[in-house]
Amino acid sequence: MCLSIPSRVTQINQENNTATVDTMGVSREASLDLMEEGSVQIGDFVLLHIGFIMNKIDEEDALASLETYREILEMMDEKERQQAILDGDNCANGG
């Protein structure tokens, strides 16, 4: 099963067409190739899939989702928690 955790855009690299996003404290780079040029801005919440930003998400919905994820993560041990965040957008089996 794939879970797409809302991530906040912290930087945009127009030269590489990528964005740096923060996913619950984990920073990663994601491609903007599937988004319309200029549609993603610093501060936006986005959803990722296999390293690509797939769409933007409303901030209110993103914050509600993040609260739910935090509740789920509280039930996990630290190793499971970090792995869930890191693997959140990597669904090899289409999920």
Helix (H) or strand (E) holding 83: helix 78-86
Domain count, the chain: 1
Domain span at residue 15 reads 7-86
CATH at 37: 2.30.30.140
pLDDT score of 18: 98
Nearest to 30, CA basis, from 4, 1, 61: 4
Domain membership of residue 91 (yes or no) is no
CA–CA separation, 57 vs 45, rounded Å? Answer: 5
pTM for the full model? 0.78
DSSP 57: E
pLDDT of residue 93 exceeding 60: no
Domain membership of residue 2 (yes or no) is no
Per-residue model confidence as pLDDT tens digits over 32-78: 999 999 999 999 999 998 899 999 999 999 999 999 988 887 887 77
Nearest to 4, CA basis, from 76, 89, 81, 66: 89
As a 3-state breakdown, the chain gives helix, strand, coil percent values, each rounded to 5, of 25, 30, 40
Domain membership of residue 14 (yes or no) is yes
